[in-house]
Chain A
Amino acid sequence: MALKSLSASRGVNSRGVNSRGVSGRDRAERRVAIRMTAPSLVLMALVAAVPIGYALWLSLNQYSVRTAGLSRFVGLENYITALSGPHWWAAFGQTFLFAGLSVSLELVLGTAMALLLNLAFKGRALLRTVVLLPYAVVTVVSAITWETMFAPNLGLVTNVLSTLGLPGGDVVWLGEHGYAMAVIVLADVWKTTPFAALIILAGLQVISAETYEAAELDGASKWQAFVHITLPLLRPAIVLAAIFRTMDALRVFDLPFVLTRGANGTESMSMLAYTQLRENRLVGEGSALSILTFLTVMAVSVVYIRFAGGNIREVAKEEQ
């Protein structure tokens, strides 16, 4: 759905002529396109812009619990409070650490998985369905499962490790900083690698077999073909997967919430905002934290698109 709106809003017509070199007919088509997309744009504005604007407004006000909703305009005070305290920066650092680790693992594993699924073999359709299963599990449910598996003494993982005499059997996984982060990353990788794989697989399938045949004629090895053909052609798909996954990872909430409640340095930006808003009813500061989270996610995605914008257009076109 995101891909469709990507090309629709840019006015890429059926022949793929970019809207900059427009003919009269193209212009007419564009008007139709605008008229047809207008209702959804209005809806999007209502759904996205209004709440964000509202949150922005809330973040500029001070709401005390005592006055119960009576607000006082304080400008950027909530932002200063948030940015000058240690909590935001700790959460910021931890969230980026989490996103960096999980997204890079997901891309590597996702690429490997996509290559595997792209091979022609019996039962491929079944395997494609099966690998998607983790992605279908509700995150909170999978988080609880992971928590149980890594529970000290009784958990499956700790039990197996200690029975086999392997290191890690006596580790309190969710009670130590490095280990807790590792479990959270693992849980995320397990769940969303299939999603990355799916996007990369789509990219893989549009690479024509002829390219490889030509390379083979030129005497390229399998590895050379992979490095010089597959990877460059796959780059747009990988970047797209990276964008989706990074944005998701930076907004991570449920995994640390269920697994550690933010203990052991695993509190994410979203969790911090939630705690201030919901549990502490600090509406102003919580909203400021939400806006900061939002700006961080947006900044990262803008950087991504600057960096690889052209490639995304290609992917969008190919996916049509």
Chain B
Amino acid sequence: MDLIRPSSPLQEDTAPSKAVARTTALHGSSRRRPRTVVAVAAAAMAAGLLLSGCGGGAATPGAENAAAADPASAAGASGSINICGGKDASGIYKGTAEAFTKANGKVTAQYTEIGATTDEARTQAVQRLEGKSTECDIFLTDVIWTSEFASQGWLLDQTKLVEANRDRLIPSTVETAKYEDKYWASPFFTNAGLVYYQKDKVAKPETWQQLYAEAAAAPGNGFVYQGKQYEGLTVNFLEMLYSAGGEVLDSKGEVKIDSPETREVLDFMSQGLKDGSAERAVLTYNEDPARLAYESGNYGYQRNWPHVFRLLNATPLAGSFGVAPLPAWEGGKASGVLGGWNLAISAHSTNQAGAVAFIDFATNPDWQKHVAMDFSQAPVNEAAYSDAAVLAKMPFATELLASVKGAKPRPISPVYPQISQAIYKNVYAVLSGAASTEDAVKTMAEEITTAKASF
């Protein structure tokens, strides 16, 4: 797998002849003895694993000297552009590329799938960007990738473009593209958590405290969420932390996770597992198992993403459930966490004008309505949510807009993956009973500080 990937500049620059010689000496001297053969076999087997060590790239310009996209260039654009991203499950990527080609007339756009899952798409994008590939003009980036990609000098600075389009974009969605006071992508569609509730059993959730209390009140009222040890748990935890007024990093990037709010939320969540508000089973749930469990009809509340609406409507629960924005913490203001995908222009794109034209098209209010109507994704344009045609297809658009507008980005840092791990591993440890709140908070803060230092 890694053997055939395009060679990275690092491999050419620093190929370690000395280290090779050392290893050969290690094995070469005793070739005749049987144990060496097995050792070599072991070496060969381990090699696959070790190979994944080939990362990095040659010196890159870094975020500070990146080139900027020119909003005016769209007018004179021609040629073709290639948009790269993950699996196109809803058809939105290909659909947008086709509609753009038809509407624009001068620029042709095509979509290339570079990975089946989000993780794979990121790996593939990183490899292309590190290798200065010109294959992709635009990368679809998960909102949490922006800082990392921008900090490497891989993206075109889109500040001017975002400023020109600002009035058409929901402010919270734009913030996901920000890194060091500049914007590195334009939001394409967004995503925010919602609470689905059984109207016959429980009331619409206003606060987390009320939701948990009602969930514990009767068997069959329980709350299902995403509690598996993965990114989704970070999101579920941050939604509660943000609404409780806590934060991970402050605006200066200082670590603020070691706070009374973090302790309060962790205690609250683990108490919820003890008193039956949520079953222990949520510790194994990501999005789909949570949805499937909820579809059994044995629960009162479910925290999940908007796409679940359509799926729930195809079950016997259709008609009996309501959709609400994420609740607030008692005495506070609701605040979720933003998901969604942005459009970033590769610093190595050979048709930047074409890419700008595409972004103009994809973010314009007309097309944003189609984003909701044709592909069931959350638009980044506020007007779309009150459009009659959109409401017909997405009756919970008002709740979704409330969730999106109230939501904040996840911690903005080039080492976000490590920060997220520090969060989900330690939150999981508390929920599963393997660690005390106090220990977990301390470890979490330490690990986030270490992660930041590795940048």
The yes or no answer to B57 lying at the interface (CB within 8 A) is: yes
The yes or no answer to B40 lying at the interface (CB within 8 A) is: yes
**Among A21-29, A100-108, A174-182, A226-234, the stretch in contact with B:** A174-182
Give the complex CA separation of A160 and B425 in angstroms.
31
For B55, list chain A residues within 8 Å (CB): 63, 69, 277-278, 281, 283
The yes or no answer to B24 lying at the interface (CB within 8 A) is: yes
Give the complex CA separation of A100 and B57 in angstroms.
40
The yes or no answer to A161 lying at the interface (CB within 8 A) is: no
Beyond A68-B60, A71-B14, is A51–B47 a contact (Cβ under 8 Å)?
Answer: yes
Tell me the A223-266 residues at the B interface (CB within 8 Å): 243, 247, 251, 253, 260-265
For B417, list chain A residues within 8 Å (CB): 279-281
Best-buried of B34, B46, B58 by chain A (most CB within 10 Å): B46
> Of B47, B56, B280, which contacts A68 at CB under 8 A?
B56
Chain B nearest CB: distance from A91 CB in Å? 13
Q: Are B34 and A298 in contact (CB under 8 A)?
A: no
Best-buried of A19, A47, A54, A173 by chain B (most CB within 10 Å): A54
Beyond A67-B59, A71-B56, A280-B415, is A54–B19 a contact (Cβ under 8 Å)?
Answer: yes
For A19, list chain B residues within 8 Å (CB): 32
Give the complex CA separation of A278 and B119 in angstroms.
10
Q: Which residue from chain B places its CB closest to the CB of A171 in the assembled complex? A: B280
> Of A47, A65, A67, A251, which contacts B148 at CB under 8 A?
A65
For B5, list chain A residues within 8 Å (CB): none
The yes or no answer to B388 lying at the interface (CB within 8 A) is: no
The yes or no answer to B279 lying at the interface (CB within 8 A) is: yes
Q: Are B38 and A301 in contact (CB under 8 A)?
A: yes
Give the complex CA separation of A261 and B420 in angstroms.
14
Beyond A172-B283, A175-B284, A282-B454, is A69–B57 a contact (Cβ under 8 Å)?
Answer: yes
Give the complex CA separation of A152 and B19 in angstroms.
50
Q: Are A305 and B35 in contact (CB under 8 A)?
A: yes
Q: Which residue from chain B places its CB closest to the CB of A276 in the assembled complex? A: B418
Q: Which residue from chain B places its CB closest to the CB of A147 in the assembled complex? A: B284
Q: Which residue from chain A places its CB closest to the CB of B293 in the assembled complex? A: A153
The yes or no answer to B45 lying at the interface (CB within 8 A) is: yes
Q: Are A68 and B34 in contact (CB under 8 A)?
A: no
**Interface residue count on the A side (C-beta < 8 Å):** 78
> Of A58, A177, A273, which contacts B434 at CB under 8 A?
A177
The yes or no answer to B391 lying at the interface (CB within 8 A) is: no
> Of B22, B33, B432, which contacts A56 at CB under 8 A?
B22
Chain A nearest CB: distance from B419 CB in Å? 10
Q: Which residue from chain B places its CB closest to the CB of A65 in the assembled complex? A: B455
Beyond A55-B51, A58-B53, is A65–B415 a contact (Cβ under 8 Å)?
Answer: yes
**Among A119-127, A205-213, A288-296, the stretch in contact with B:** A288-296
Beyond A65-B455, A251-B45, is A290–B39 a contact (Cβ under 8 Å)?
Answer: no
Q: Are B434 and A10 in contact (CB under 8 A)?
A: no
Chain A nearest CB: distance from B64 CB in Å? 11
Q: Are A54 and B27 in contact (CB under 8 A)?
A: no
The yes or no answer to B230 lying at the interface (CB within 8 A) is: yes
Chain A nearest CB: distance from B10 CB in Å? 5
> Of A41, A69, A262, A263, which contacts B58 at CB under 8 A?
A69
Best-buried of B9, B15, B37 by chain A (most CB within 10 Å): B37
> Of B11, B27, B414, B421, which contacts A49 at CB under 8 A?
B27
Chain B nearest CB: distance from A42 CB in Å? 11
Q: Which residue from chain A places its CB closest to the CB of B443 in the assembled complex? A: A86
Q: Which residue from chain A places its CB closest to the CB of B14 in the assembled complex? A: A71
The yes or no answer to A70 lying at the interface (CB within 8 A) is: yes
Give the complex CA separation of A301 and B36 in angstroms.
10
Give the complex CA separation of A260 and B289 in angstroms.
14
The yes or no answer to B229 lying at the interface (CB within 8 A) is: yes
Q: Are A274 and B229 in contact (CB under 8 A)?
A: no
Q: Are B44 and A47 in contact (CB under 8 A)?
A: yes
Tell me the A65-112 residues at the B interface (CB within 8 Å): 65-71
> Of B38, B47, B292, B415, which contacts A305 at CB under 8 A?
B38
Chain A nearest CB: distance from B16 CB in Å? 4
Q: Are B23 and A151 in contact (CB under 8 A)?
A: no
Q: Which residue from chain B places its CB closest to the CB of A172 in the assembled complex? A: B280
Q: Which residue from chain B places its CB closest to the CB of A69 in the assembled complex? A: B56
Q: Are B418 and A280 in contact (CB under 8 A)?
A: yes
Q: Which residue from chain B places its CB closest to the CB of A259 in the assembled complex? A: B284
Per-residue B-contact encoding for A45-67, CB less than 8 Å = 1, 0 else: 10111111111111100011111
Give the complex CA separation of A92 and B179 in angstroms.
38
Chain A nearest CB: distance from B44 CB in Å? 4
Q: Are B432 and A44 in contact (CB under 8 A)?
A: no
**Among A1-9, A128-136, A190-198, A214-222, the stretch in contact with B:** A1-9
Best-buried of A67, A68, A312 by chain B (most CB within 10 Å): A68
Per-residue A-contact encoding for B147-187, CB less than 8 Å = 1, 0 else: 01001110000000000000000000000000000000000
Tell me the B269-325 residues at the A interface (CB within 8 Å): 279-281, 283-284, 289, 292-293, 296, 298
Q: Are A11 and B432 in contact (CB under 8 A)?
A: no
Q: Are A313 and B53 in contact (CB under 8 A)?
A: no
Q: Which residue from chain B places its CB closest to the CB of A46 in the assembled complex? A: B20
For A253, list chain B residues within 8 Å (CB): 49
The yes or no answer to B42 lying at the interface (CB within 8 A) is: yes
For A47, list chain B residues within 8 Å (CB): 44, 47
> Of A291, A306, A312, which contacts B50 at CB under 8 A?
A291
> Of B19, B57, B281, B451, which contacts A153 at CB under 8 A?
B281
The yes or no answer to A154 lying at the interface (CB within 8 A) is: yes
The yes or no answer to B116 lying at the interface (CB within 8 A) is: no
Chain A nearest CB: distance from B199 CB in Å? 23
Q: Are A48 and B418 in contact (CB under 8 A)?
A: no
Q: Are B228 and A261 in contact (CB under 8 A)?
A: yes
The yes or no answer to A309 lying at the interface (CB within 8 A) is: yes
The yes or no answer to B52 lying at the interface (CB within 8 A) is: yes
Q: Which residue from chain A places its CB closest to the CB of B41 in the assembled complex? A: A2
For A65, list chain B residues within 8 Å (CB): 148, 151-152, 414-415, 454-455
Beyond A176-B432, A306-B35, is A52–B23 a contact (Cβ under 8 Å)?
Answer: yes
Beyond A65-B414, A69-B58, A247-B42, is A154–B49 a contact (Cβ under 8 Å)?
Answer: no
16 further interface pairs, Cβ-Cβ under 8 Å (given A69-B8, A69-B55, A243-B38): A2-B38, A6-B38, A48-B44, A54-B19, A64-B454, A69-B56, A69-B60, A173-B284, A175-B432, A261-B230, A277-B55, A280-B415, A280-B451, A280-B454, A294-B43, A297-B46
Q: List 30 A-B residue pairs with CB atoms under 8 Å apart, sorted by A's residue number.
A: A2-B41, A6-B34, A9-B34, A10-B34, A48-B44, A49-B43, A53-B21, A54-B19, A56-B19, A58-B54, A66-B151, A68-B62, A69-B130, A70-B58, A71-B56, A152-B280, A175-B280, A263-B228, A273-B49, A280-B418, A290-B46, A290-B52, A294-B50, A298-B43, A301-B38, A301-B39, A302-B35, A305-B35, A309-B35, A313-B34
Query: Across chains A and B, which 4 residue pairs bring their CB atoms closest together, nearest first?
Result: A69-B56, A152-B281, A263-B229, A57-B16
